[in-house]
Amino acid sequence: MITVVGSLNMDLVVQTERIPRVGETVLGGEFNQIEGGKGGNQAVAAARLGGDVKMIGAVGQDDMGRQLLASLEKDEIDISRIKLSSEPSGMAMILVDAAGNNSITVVSGANFDINVDDIRQDEDLFARSSVVLAQLECPLDVVAEALSLAKEHDCLTVLNPAPAQALPAELLADVDILTPNETELELLSGMGTSSMEECTAAGEKLMASGVKSLIVTLGSRGCLYMEGDVAEHYPSYLVKMTDSTAAGDCFNGALVAALDNGSSIHDAIHFAMKASAISVTRAGAQPSLPTQEEMADFAAWYEERRLDKS
């Protein structure tokens, strides 16, 4: 069983030719309101790929909150531990340019109304879980308590350190697998990440500080896995990108679904790379996340869409 501790946001998505510079106004195109939030996205990704998923988080008692909960239920995610807050539901304002790149501003709302006591009340959920997945769109002390409880109950813990922020050593000590992207790796390590060599050096610094396992997602450059003396690069499946909004969330959800299903870390990474390749070819956060059926036909799907196809 997988427990996801994290955020639930309504994504307000605007398609635009390019993301404006500071002080500039540009005309947008299509607008969509789509269920999202890093926690919600990762929970949905894991559930669609075969995971038995329970969600801990908070939404407002408003139309957006009701829509967010209904969406999770459609993917058979247990929402019984999601708090109904007096704060408004979280929102994310997302600009997506013609190349599929994005710029995101998050308004936390109810996501910051969850507290340590709420987490402790759900200890039975951690006791029944095999994997706990968290991000950083909820209060840091809530994330720390969740990871601590998870380790008390011998769960595998995965932390996606996004949005990027400095993390205390005692929190990192409770993380089995840390999954930053290159920007987050740069902040956590204080080192550059513009090349694979720099990413490896930055990863080595984090490993020396006590991080057990590290998976750095690098977009079109694939990902870097580090554990002990191992540093292994996994190339990406190159496809034409439509929208990268939930690619990292898809990777994390797929990773824990595979691990919970008994896959090795190497097989789980390959599985997550395939899932995220599908996600970037589709618009939106949760609408882009693939199903088990789609993953079963990945080889044929990729053969039709690979960028290096002659």
What are the tens digits of pLDDT across the range 50-92?
A: 999 999 999 999 999 999 999 999 999 999 999 999 999 999 8
Residue 101's pLDDT is 83
End-to-end CA distance of the chain: 43
CATH number, position 207: 3.40.1190.20
What pLDDT shows up at residue 291? Answer: 95
Q: Is residue 19 part of a domain?
A: no
The answer to whether 176 is a known catalytic residue is no
Domain that holds residue 47: 2-6+38-86+114-305
Q: Comparing 283 with 298, which gets the higher pLDDT? A: 298
**Is 108 part of any domain?**
no
Residue 162 within a domain: yes
Assess if residue 135 is contained within a domain: yes
| Banded model confidence at residue 294, pLDDT cuts 50, 70, 90 | very high
Looking at the domain assignment, is residue 82 inside a domain?
Answer: yes
pTM to 2 decimals?
0.92
pLDDT at 96: 86
What DSSP character marks residue 181? Answer: B
For residue 67, give every residue at least 6 positions away whose Cβ sits within 8 Å of its Cβ, in sequence order, or none. 10, 35
Domain count, the chain: 1
Residue 99 lies in a domain: no
With 70 as the cut, is the pLDDT of residue 171 above it?
yes
Question: Would you state the pLDDT for residue 46?
Answer: 98
Nearest to 109 by CA among 33, 57, 144: 57
CA atoms of 23 and 101, how far apart (whole Å): 20
The reply to whether 231 falls in a domain is: yes
Greatest Cα pair distance in the chain? 57
Question: Taking a C-beta distance cutoff of 8 angstroms, is the pair 252, 49 a contact?
Answer: no
Burial 17-44 (b: 16+ CB within 10 A, else e): eeeeeeeeeeeeeeeeebbbbbbbbbbb
Q: What percent of the chain has pLDDT above 90?
A: 79
Catalytic pick from 75, 118, 249, 260?
Answer: 249
Q: What angle in degrees, to the nearest 10, is found between the helix axes of 38-48 and 63-74? A: 20
pLDDT band at 310 (very low <50, low <70, confident <90, very high): low
Tell me, yes or no, whether 67 lies in a domain.
yes
